[in-house]
């Protein structure tokens, strides 16, 4: 029983690192512009289908499709930002409606281009099992992209904390007008955040294709998962994204092991609601003072 629980927790941690990879781009945009990009899951899915095309049509390793995914998904992400800049009134609700519509368009574009069939990688190495400590098992792709996810979370955290552009992005997030007085161009900073989010979505899409299955309808579910993790983490908290993702991953894995896989999504949502009831600002969000 102990080995079964250990395997479940291990699988949950790996799934959490994978979830963090998906949520990181959404959290970055949300922290910068206070805008929920409801097309984020479709951007991740688009990168996954680019990897599928590289493998199925050109016989390439899915990871080699990353530069193409970064270009295509990055351009799409920037175009979404340019459309969002056209929203002048009721920005919060209108941006939600706009990005939701863009997500539907991307879903249908993916459906018409690649059909509704379920796709997964045919490269054997990603699907082969790896043994950790003689008792824990995982696919090579899970281990690989869990490490990539941890590195990207750490890299984005360092970038936001230590670089000029990262501090400029945080300044725009805190006070747009004050950032202007300090010589920061909010528009270019927000554009940068969308471009970086596109890069992160590209990596997440490659990870999705090599370790899971993809289909056109999956984008909406990815967006919901990313949004839950972003809110659970707290506004602007990059480490919180990783912690929240791991909590969700472990909770879902233990639920599948001890009860039923049909309850995985429900338990994740219940955990999300309980944390927000106890800590409305999220796990690592700053509590706003009232005066």
Q: Give the max Cα distance, the chain.
A: 62
Q: Quickly tell me which residue has 């951007």 as its tokens.
A: 43
Is residue 242 in a domain?
A: no
Which residues, 6+ apart, have CB-to-CB distance to 5 below 8 Å? Answer: 254, 257
- Dist CA 35 CA 33 (whole Å): 5
Q: Band the pLDDT of 236: cuts 50, 70, 90.
A: low
CA-CA distance, 167 to 171, in Å (whole number)?
6
At 134 the pLDDT is 74
> Which phi and psi (to 5°) does residue 162 adopt?
-110, -20
Determine the pLDDT at residue 290. Answer: 37
Range of the domain at 84: 21-219
User: Averaged over 97-115, what is the pLDDT?
Assistant: 94
- Is the model's pLDDT at 155 over the cut of 80? yes
* Highest mean pLDDT out of 41-45, 91-95, 173-177: 41-45
Q: How far is CA 247 from the centre of its chain?
A: 15
pLDDT at 288: 47
Report pLDDT digits (tens) over 42-86: 999 999 999 999 999 999 999 999 999 999 999 999 999 999 988
Half-sphere exposure of 9 (CA within 13 A, CB side): 7
The model carries a pTM of: 0.91
Tokens of 70: 């970064």
| DSSP letter, residue 130 | E
pLDDT-derived band at 291 (thresholds 50, 70, 90) equals very low
Contact status, residue 135 vs residue 3, Cβ threshold 8 Å = yes
Average pLDDT over residues 255-267: 84
* pLDDT higher at 39 or 183: 39
Which is more confidently placed, 265 or 282? 265
Cβ-proximal residues to 10 (8 Å cutoff; 6+ apart), any chain: 132, 136, 138
Is residue 265 in a domain? no
> Residues 178-198: what's their mean pLDDT?
88
Structural domain includes residue 120: yes
**Within a domain: residue 215?**
yes
Whether residue 130 is contained in a domain is answered as: yes
- Cα dist. 271→14, 28, 144, 227, 282 in Å? 18, 23, 27, 14, 12
Q: Does residue 74 fall inside a structural domain?
A: yes
| Calpha distance 241→170 (Å, rounded) | 16
Spatial distance between the Cα atoms of 87 and 184, rounded to a whole number of angstroms: 21
Q: What pLDDT was estimated at residue 289?
A: 40
User: Quick check: is 163 in a domain?
Assistant: yes
What is the pLDDT, as a whole number, of residue 29?
87
Tell me 132's DSSP state: E
Give the closest residue to 252 by CA, choosing from 230, 283, 223, 229. Answer: 229
Mean pLDDT of the chain: 88
Strand extents, DSSP E, the chain:
129-132, 136-139
Domain count, the chain: 1
C-beta of residue 148 within 8 angstroms of C-beta of residue 20: no
The verdict on residue 246 lying in a domain is no
Per-residue pLDDT at 286: 59
Q: Are strands 136-139 and 129-132 parallel, antiparallel or unpaired?
A: antiparallel
Of 88 and 228, the one with more pLDDT: 228
Q: Is residue 256 within 8 Å of residue 264, measured between CB atoms?
A: yes
SS percent in the chain: helix, strand, coil, step 5: 75, 5, 20
What distance in Å separates the CA atoms of residue 124 and residue 83, rounded to the nearest whole number?
A: 41
Return the structure tokens found at 266. Answer: 């429900």
């Amino acid at each position: 029983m102990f080995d079964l629980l250990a395997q479940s927790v291990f699988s949950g941690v790996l799934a959490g690192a994978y979830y963090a990879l998906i949520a990181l781009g959404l959290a970055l945009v949300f922290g910068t512009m206070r805008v929920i990009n409801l097309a984020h899951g479709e951007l991740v899915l688009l990168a996954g289908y680019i990897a599928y095309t590289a493998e199925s049509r050109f016989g390439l390793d899915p990871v080699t499709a990353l530069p193409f995914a970064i270009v295509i998904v990055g351009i799409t992400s920037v175009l979404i930002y340019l459309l969002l800049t056209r929203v002048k009134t009721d920005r919060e609700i209108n941006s939600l409606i706009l990005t939701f519509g863009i997500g539907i368009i991307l879903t249908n574009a993916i459906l018409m281009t690649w059909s509704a069939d379920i796709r997964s990688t045919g490269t054997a190495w990603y699907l082969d099992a790896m043994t950790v400590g003689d008792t824990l098992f995982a696919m090579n792709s899970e281990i690989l992209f869990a490490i990539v996810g941890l590195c990207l979370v750490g890299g984005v955290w360092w970038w936001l904390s230590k670089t000029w552009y990262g501090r400029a992005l945080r300044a725009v997030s805190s006070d747009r007008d004050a950032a202007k007085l300090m010589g920061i161009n909010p528009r270019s900073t927000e554009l940068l955040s969308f471009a970086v989010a596109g890069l992160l979505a590209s990596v997440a899409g490659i990870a999705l294709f090599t370790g899971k299955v993809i289909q056109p309808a999956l984008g909406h579910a990815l967006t919901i998962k990313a949004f839950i993790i972003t809110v659970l983490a707290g506004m602007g908290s990059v480490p919180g994204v990783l912690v929240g993702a791991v909590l969700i991953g472990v909770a879902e894995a233990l639920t599948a092991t001890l009860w039923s896989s049909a309850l995985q999504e429900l338990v994740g949502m219940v955990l999300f609601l309980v944390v927000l009831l106890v800590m409305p600002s999220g796990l690592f969000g700053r509590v706003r003072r009232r005066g």
